Structure 1
Amino acid sequence: MLGMLFNEKECKELDYVLRKELDEMLLDMSDTRLDQDIRYAIALRYKTVFRMYARFAPAKELSKYARRGRVPQSKQ
Protein backbone atom coordinates (compact mmCIF):
# COMPACT_ATOMS: atom_id res chain seq x y z
CA MET A 1 0.00 0.00 0.00
CA LEU A 2 1.18 3.48 -0.77
CA GLY A 3 0.18 6.58 1.17
CA MET A 4 0.22 10.20 0.03
CA LEU A 5 -0.45 13.50 1.73
CA PHE A 6 -2.13 16.32 -0.19
CA ASN A 7 -3.04 19.84 0.79
CA GLU A 8 -6.52 21.19 0.04
CA LYS A 9 -5.58 22.65 -3.34
CA GLU A 10 -3.94 19.40 -4.45
CA CYS A 11 -7.01 17.41 -3.36
CA LYS A 12 -9.26 19.61 -5.46
CA GLU A 13 -6.94 19.24 -8.44
CA LEU A 14 -6.84 15.44 -8.08
CA ASP A 15 -10.64 15.39 -7.82
CA TYR A 16 -10.89 17.45 -11.02
CA VAL A 17 -8.41 15.29 -12.93
CA LEU A 18 -10.10 12.04 -11.94
CA ARG A 19 -13.57 13.34 -12.81
CA LYS A 20 -12.40 14.52 -16.23
CA GLU A 21 -10.70 11.19 -16.88
CA LEU A 22 -13.87 9.30 -15.89
CA ASP A 23 -15.95 11.53 -18.17
CA GLU A 24 -13.60 10.92 -21.08
CA MET A 25 -13.58 7.16 -20.56
CA LEU A 26 -17.39 7.05 -20.38
CA LEU A 27 -17.53 8.87 -23.68
CA ASP A 28 -15.00 6.50 -25.24
CA MET A 29 -16.82 3.39 -23.99
CA SER A 30 -20.03 4.54 -25.62
CA ASP A 31 -18.30 5.20 -28.96
CA THR A 32 -19.31 2.30 -31.22
CA ARG A 33 -16.61 3.23 -33.73
CA LEU A 34 -13.98 1.90 -31.34
CA ASP A 35 -13.06 -1.77 -31.48
CA GLN A 36 -14.60 -3.99 -28.78
CA ASP A 37 -11.14 -4.88 -27.43
CA ILE A 38 -10.30 -1.19 -27.02
CA ARG A 39 -13.55 -0.52 -25.19
CA TYR A 40 -12.86 -3.52 -22.95
CA ALA A 41 -9.43 -2.12 -22.03
CA ILE A 42 -10.98 1.29 -21.32
CA ALA A 43 -13.61 -0.37 -19.11
CA LEU A 44 -10.92 -2.08 -17.05
CA ARG A 45 -9.05 1.19 -16.63
CA TYR A 46 -12.32 2.95 -15.74
CA LYS A 47 -12.83 0.49 -12.92
CA THR A 48 -9.40 1.31 -11.48
CA VAL A 49 -9.81 5.09 -11.76
CA PHE A 50 -13.33 4.87 -10.33
CA ARG A 51 -12.02 3.04 -7.26
CA MET A 52 -9.39 5.75 -6.81
CA TYR A 53 -12.07 8.44 -7.05
CA ALA A 54 -14.36 6.52 -4.67
CA ARG A 55 -11.83 6.82 -1.85
CA PHE A 56 -12.52 10.50 -1.30
CA ALA A 57 -15.59 11.51 -3.34
CA PRO A 58 -18.91 12.14 -1.64
CA ALA A 59 -21.63 9.58 -2.37
CA LYS A 60 -23.68 12.09 -4.36
CA GLU A 61 -20.75 12.78 -6.70
CA LEU A 62 -19.81 9.13 -6.87
CA SER A 63 -23.25 8.08 -8.06
CA LYS A 64 -22.76 10.16 -11.23
CA TYR A 65 -19.95 7.85 -12.30
CA ALA A 66 -21.24 4.47 -11.12
CA ARG A 67 -21.76 2.14 -14.06
CA ARG A 68 -24.71 -0.21 -14.10
CA GLY A 69 -23.38 -2.83 -16.47
CA ARG A 70 -20.52 -5.20 -16.11
CA VAL A 71 -17.28 -4.93 -18.00
CA PRO A 72 -17.98 -5.90 -21.64
CA GLN A 73 -16.49 -9.21 -22.70
CA SER A 74 -13.55 -9.03 -25.07
CA LYS A 75 -13.48 -11.12 -28.22
CA GLN A 76 -11.21 -14.11 -28.02
Structure 2
Amino acid sequence: MFGLLINEKEVKEMEYLIKREMDEILFDLKDDRIDHIVKRSMEERYKILFTLFKRVASPQECLKYIRRGNKDRKKG
Protein backbone atom coordinates (compact mmCIF):
# COMPACT_ATOMS: atom_id res chain seq x y z
CA MET A 1 0.00 0.00 0.00
CA PHE A 2 1.22 3.48 -0.84
CA GLY A 3 0.25 6.84 0.58
CA LEU A 4 0.16 10.02 -1.46
CA LEU A 5 -0.11 13.58 -0.23
CA ILE A 6 -1.16 16.03 -2.93
CA ASN A 7 -2.69 19.48 -2.93
CA GLU A 8 -5.99 20.53 -4.50
CA LYS A 9 -4.37 21.76 -7.72
CA GLU A 10 -2.66 18.39 -8.19
CA VAL A 11 -5.95 16.58 -7.54
CA LYS A 12 -7.63 18.62 -10.28
CA GLU A 13 -4.75 17.88 -12.65
CA MET A 14 -4.99 14.14 -11.95
CA GLU A 15 -8.74 14.27 -12.44
CA TYR A 16 -8.31 16.07 -15.76
CA LEU A 17 -5.66 13.65 -17.07
CA ILE A 18 -7.64 10.56 -16.07
CA LYS A 19 -10.84 11.96 -17.62
CA ARG A 20 -9.06 12.67 -20.92
CA GLU A 21 -7.63 9.16 -21.02
CA MET A 22 -11.01 7.58 -20.21
CA ASP A 23 -12.71 9.73 -22.88
CA GLU A 24 -10.18 8.57 -25.44
CA ILE A 25 -10.74 4.93 -24.51
CA LEU A 26 -14.53 5.33 -24.70
CA PHE A 27 -14.18 6.91 -28.14
CA ASP A 28 -11.89 4.13 -29.38
CA LEU A 29 -14.20 1.41 -28.05
CA LYS A 30 -16.84 2.60 -30.52
CA ASP A 31 -14.48 2.10 -33.47
CA ASP A 32 -15.46 -1.03 -35.39
CA ARG A 33 -11.99 -1.31 -36.95
CA ILE A 34 -10.40 -2.21 -33.61
CA ASP A 35 -10.15 -5.93 -32.85
CA HIS A 36 -12.18 -7.30 -29.92
CA ILE A 37 -9.02 -8.55 -28.18
CA VAL A 38 -7.61 -5.02 -28.21
CA LYS A 39 -10.95 -3.67 -26.99
CA ARG A 40 -10.87 -6.11 -24.08
CA SER A 41 -7.47 -4.74 -23.05
CA MET A 42 -8.81 -1.22 -23.39
CA GLU A 43 -11.74 -2.10 -21.13
CA GLU A 44 -9.35 -3.47 -18.51
CA ARG A 45 -7.34 -0.24 -18.69
CA TYR A 46 -10.57 1.76 -18.37
CA LYS A 47 -11.49 -0.14 -15.19
CA ILE A 48 -8.10 0.66 -13.65
CA LEU A 49 -8.36 4.33 -14.61
CA PHE A 50 -11.91 4.53 -13.26
CA THR A 51 -10.75 3.08 -9.94
CA LEU A 52 -8.14 5.84 -9.72
CA PHE A 53 -10.70 8.42 -10.84
CA LYS A 54 -13.09 7.45 -8.04
CA ARG A 55 -10.41 8.39 -5.52
CA VAL A 56 -10.04 11.97 -6.74
CA ALA A 57 -13.38 12.90 -8.34
CA SER A 58 -16.74 13.82 -6.88
CA PRO A 59 -19.55 11.25 -6.98
CA GLN A 60 -21.36 13.38 -9.59
CA GLU A 61 -18.32 13.27 -11.88
CA CYS A 62 -17.98 9.52 -11.35
CA LEU A 63 -21.57 8.95 -12.48
CA LYS A 64 -20.69 10.37 -15.90
CA TYR A 65 -18.03 7.70 -16.43
CA ILE A 66 -19.73 4.60 -15.05
CA ARG A 67 -19.98 1.98 -17.77
CA ARG A 68 -23.28 0.16 -17.91
CA GLY A 69 -23.69 -3.54 -18.63
CA ASN A 70 -23.34 -5.24 -21.98
CA LYS A 71 -25.93 -2.90 -23.53
CA ASP A 72 -23.26 -0.21 -23.94
CA ARG A 73 -20.70 -2.60 -25.30
CA LYS A 74 -20.76 -3.70 -28.87
CA LYS A 75 -19.09 -6.93 -29.91
CA GLY A 76 -15.92 -6.13 -31.83
The TM-score with structure 2 as length reference comes to: 0.86
| Identical counterparts, % of pairs | 42
Greater CA deviation, 35-44 or 6-15? 6-15
Alignment match, 2:38? 38
Code of the aligned partner of 2:36: Q
Greater CA deviation, 6-15 or 39-48? 6-15
The TM-score with structure 1 as length reference comes to: 0.86
Task: Decide which structure has greater helix share.
Answer: 2
SS of the residue aligned with 2:64? coil
Q: Once the 2 structures are TM-superposed, how far is the Cα of residue 56 of structure 1 from its aligned partner? A: 2.3
Measured in 1, the distance between the counterparts of 2:10 and 2:61 equals 18
Pairwise CA RMSD of aligned residues?
1.3
Structure with the greater relative contact order (CA < 8 A, sep ≥ 6): 1 or 2? Answer: 2
SS of the residue aligned with 1:64? helix
Structure 1 segments unaligned to the other structure (5+ residues): none
Alignment match, 1:63? 63
Code of the aligned partner of 2:53: Y
How many residues align structurally? 71
Structure 2 segments unaligned to the other structure (5+ residues): none
SS of the residue aligned with 1:63? helix
